[in-house]
Every structure is written in C-alpha cells, then in structure tokens.
Amino acid sequence: MISSSLYTQSFGNTQIAFASIIVIIAMGLSKFLKLDLEKDFFIASLRTTVQLIAVGYILRWILQADTYWVNFLVLLVMTLVAAQAVTSRLKQKSFKIFAAALLSLMGSTWPLGFLALYFFFHSEALRQTSFFIPFMGVVVGNALSSISLSFLGLQRLRAENILEVETFKALGANSLEACQRLYRDILRNALTPNLNGMTVVGIVSLPGVMAGQVIGGVDPLTAARFQILVMFLILLTAMVGSLIAMGLSHFFFMPPWFTDENSNWSFKIPPGAKWALMGPSGTGKSRLLKSMTGIDLSSIRDDVKKSSNVSFEKTARRVCYVHQKSHFIPGTVEDNLLYPYQFKAHRSDRYNREFVLNLLNQLGLSEETLRKNAMTLSGGEGQLIHLIRALQFHPRGLFLDEPTSSLDSQRTALFEQLLDMWLAQGDHNLIFITHNKEQAVRFASQVLHLENGSLRYV
C-alpha cells in the first residue's frame, strides 16, 4: 500500500501555480473550439481557489473546537448556503422559495444525519468536529442536488403541465391525484443521479468519502463499509428532502384553485337545458366555466355574479368540464379512458367497455380506436375521445369548451346528435362555448353573451 505520507507532504503556492496550467489548457481548448467558456472557467477556478483556501484557514480553527454549538453553527451556515444554491438555479426566485428549500434541507438531512451519527457512532460523533462536519457536509451536499432537481421540476410543472392537472381535476381527481403522475416523474428524475451513483460505485468511480479514508490510511474494507452507510443515508435524505419540497410546493406555490377540493359555488340551470356561451376571445369564457365547476375559482365568478341578470344558486350537481385542447398521457386511448378510475371519486365505478364502444360507434369511430396511441390522435379525434372520457362517468352536467372546433361538419352533426340523446336520457344539462353563431342558433336552447364581466341572455 502506498504510504499516506505522500498525501500529507507540503503542497504550497508553487504547486498551485503549476496546477493552474490545467485550467489554462481547458481555456485554450474552449477558445479553439469556440465554446466561449473561457470566462466561466476563469471565474469558477478563481472562486474554487479562494473559497477552498479560505475554508482551509477556517477549518484549522473549527476542527479543533469539538463543541456542540460550533458544530451546529457551521452546519447552519452550510445549510443556508445549500438552500441559496438550490434557489439560484430557478428562474423564479423569492424568499418563500428560499425558505422552502431551507426547510427541505433541514427537514431531511438534519434529523436523519443526527440519528445516523448517534445510532452508529454514539454521541461522541455529534461533538467531534473533525468527524461531524465532513460527515454532514457530504449528506447536505448530495441532498442539495436532488432537492434542486425537484424544485426545477416543480417549477416546470407550474409553467408547462397545468393542462394535465386541470384535465384530471375535471375528471374527478383531487389535487394530489391530479399531480400524482407528474410528481412521480419529478421524484424519479431527482433520485436518478443517486441511483446511478449507487449502481457504479466502486467499479466506475471511487466515492469521495471512501477515497479520503483510504488516503488517510484507513483499511479499504473498513472504508468500504463506511461508504455503504453514507450512500444509503444519502439516498434516504435525498428522497425525504424531495418529498418535503413537493409537499411545500403543492400547498404554497400552486395557483389558489389548485388545492381547493370543495367549491360551494356553481350554476344551476334547468334540466335538459343547452346553453351556448359566446363572446369575444379573451373575455374569460373558459375561466367562467372552470370557475363554475370549481377547477379555477377565479375572481370572474364574483364579477359576473354582481353584474349579470342570470340567476345563480349553490348546488351539489355533479358536473364535468371538458377542455378545448385534449390532454392525454402516454399510452393507448383505452389506457387514458381507464386512468381516471384510480381516482378516489371513481374507485367504486367499473369501466364499461360496451358503453364506450357504443359511444365510439355513435361518433363514427371503430373499436380499433381504443388501441391507438393517444399521443398521435388528430385534434378532432382527441376532442371526441375527451368527450367519451367524461361521459363514461355519467355526469349530470357537461361544460364544454369549444368542443367541435376541430371537427368537420359530419362529425359535428354526430357529436350534437349524441349530446341530444344524452340530454334526453335523464336530468342532464349542458353549457358549451362556441364562436359559431350558426351552431349556437341550431343547437342551443339559450344563448348567453359574456363581455366586459357582464353575462346576459341574447
């Protein structure tokens, strides 16, 4: 075995100067390849040098302290810096997000790290600074990466995946169920670096903790056992931290309507009514329908209520909102029809394939449609399947957002015929948004016009 004295020899400023040649070579390659990273390399190298030299001086004093309060203060500073690193990668930054990142780090690494130290190494490990700080630094540093990836995924969800959330809420999902698939993907992505590291550890790479112990003269087998504990602890803290980040984001950073499960506000219209909602684009027709079904409890409902001559009442009707733009998860059409049955609201329901086939037939579609990849459906096919997905749960009210905008005249006629049959079968009613005056006159029993926050009969 190589003597550890090789790693404790004097490594002075001269050696650092020669080491900087490595960075100069990297900058030269960047210049030659026109990567435009020379400035980034220089700044990163300068910060690395200054920060590590400063840390070296500080550690000379800290590692001799061996007191609980010094360990706690150092760990607090490390966690605050880690939380700042998490938020620095986000496009949207605020004190609330920083606080959420800090709580995610503290709520995962502190209790689990303290428990591991106390259980495996006893209380002395909590006091001995030269052991406590490096150990907790490894745990916090690795949890930082997973928590950061979680916040990035959650921010992307709020910006890009709200349609999926709205679609599932309209189909009866609560707020957690509506995000379950997205949260699962975010968690999987956040933990992938840890899982990859655990898969190849010791074969492709020698972990830092184990390498440091071996360099320090510790028996390699003992170092390997210690590294196993560290890897397991890193995995758990990363997972717990990511879950805390998701929980905080879910309840504090989503739109106000997101976690509202029980709205007492809805419209009450006569059984069998077919109301067409018209008005200029951008006046809030979609928001109004979402508000009526409790999906988006926006302020427009109060504005409309005050200025409208249409009567409103609170009611407990079971209604379903169908978006103009259909959203499907990866899989077949039938997979998408089956997916909502896992929601709590539909666990007592049973998928009726014959009922679905009958609806497909009435809309001019074949059984083969069920086996199609839902992601490759045309706009018109998507609107028809979206309607079937809602009708399979037998709602008493349907609120449709431009439901025939992608359909030709023949399919539009079949669509309207199906809805007429549905209205005749029970105590049902329908409100649909349209910009087609001919359709409104032909198909609706009453036309309403929304403009400038005012809703009126036409």
Nearest to 174 by CA among 99, 115, 262, 296: 262
The mean per-residue pLDDT over the stretch 11-29 comes to 86
- Rounded distance between C-alpha atoms, residue 128 and residue 106, angstroms: 20
Say what the pLDDT of residue 8 is. Answer: 53
Q: Which of 363, 402, 419, 386 is nearest to 276 (CA)?
A: 402
Which residues have CB under 8 Å from 298's CB, separation 6+? 257, 284, 287, 290, 291
Tell me what pLDDT residue 7 has: 53
What angle (nearest 5°) sits at the alpha carbon of residue 442, between those of residues 377 and 270?
A: 95
Fold assignment, 274-457? Rossmann fold (3.40.50)
Output the CA–CA distances (angstroms, integers) from residue 2 to 10, 11, 218, 225, in the order listed: 17, 18, 12, 21
* Helix, strand counts (H, E) of the chain: 17, 6
Q: Considering only CA atoms, which of 116, 63, 344, 315 is closest in space to residue 226?
A: 116
What single string gives the DSSP state of each residue in 151-198? HHHHHHHHHH-HHHHHHHHHTT--HHHHHHHHHHHHHHHHHHHHHHHH
What is the arithmetic mean of pLDDT over 196-211? 76
State the chain's maximal CA–CA distance in angstroms.
92
User: What mean pLDDT, rounded, does the chain reach?
Assistant: 86
Question: Residue 93: is its pLDDT beyond 90?
Answer: no
Alpha helices (runs of H) in 343-449, residue ranges in sequence order: 353-362, 379-391, 409-424, 437-443
Identify any residues that bridge with 449 across adjacent strands, giving them in sequence order. Answer: 278, 456
d(CA 259, CA 148): 23
As a whole number of angstroms, the distance between CA 128 and CA 62 comes to: 10
Q: Is 85 exposed, middle or buried (0-12, 13-18, 19+ CB in 10 A)?
A: middle
- In the prediction, which pLDDT does 313 show? 38
Q: Tell whether the model's pLDDT for residue 302 goes beyond 80.
A: no
CB atoms within 10 A of CB 72: 13
pLDDT band at 314 (very low <50, low <70, confident <90, very high): very low
Mean pLDDT calculated for residue range 73-101: 92
Q: Contact, 382 vs 326, CB < 8 A?
A: yes
Which of the residue ranges 92-106, 312-326, 347-361, 416-430 would you say has the lowest mean pLDDT?
312-326
**What is the rounded average pLDDT of the residues 209-235?**
83
pLDDT at 339: 96
Least confidently predicted of 1-5, 353-357, 408-412, 423-427: 1-5
Lowest mean pLDDT among 66-75, 254-263, 384-393, 406-415: 254-263
Spatial separation of the C-alpha atoms in residues 240 and 138, rounded to whole Å: 16
Q: Are 120 and 135 in contact, with CB atoms under 8 Å apart? A: no
Tokens found for residue 175: 């707020």
Average pLDDT over residues 115-129: 91
The tally of CA atoms less than 13 A away on the side-chain side of residue 119 is 8
Q: What is the per-residue pLDDT across 331-379, written as a single tens digit (0 to 9) for each?
A: 999 999 999 999 999 989 999 999 999 999 999 999 999 999 999 999 9
Based on its alpha-carbon atoms, the radius of gyration of the chain, rounded to whole angstroms, reads 30
What global pTM score does this model have? 0.81
Burial 354-380 (b: 16+ CB within 10 A, else e): eebbebbebbebeeebbebebeebeeb
Check whether 139 has a pLDDT greater than 90: yes
Q: What band does 54 get if pLDDT is binned at 50, 70 and 90?
A: confident
Q: 121: which 2 tokens?
A: 């190494």
- CA atoms of 327 and 59, how far apart (whole Å): 55
Which pLDDT score is estimated for 337?
Answer: 97
- Is the pLDDT at 144 greater than 50? The verdict is yes
Residue 204 has φ and ψ, to the nearest 5°, of -90, -35
pLDDT band at 309 (very low <50, low <70, confident <90, very high): very low
Q: Give the position of tokens 């495996």.
A: 120
- The most confident of the ranges 229-233, 238-242, 304-308, 392-396 is 238-242
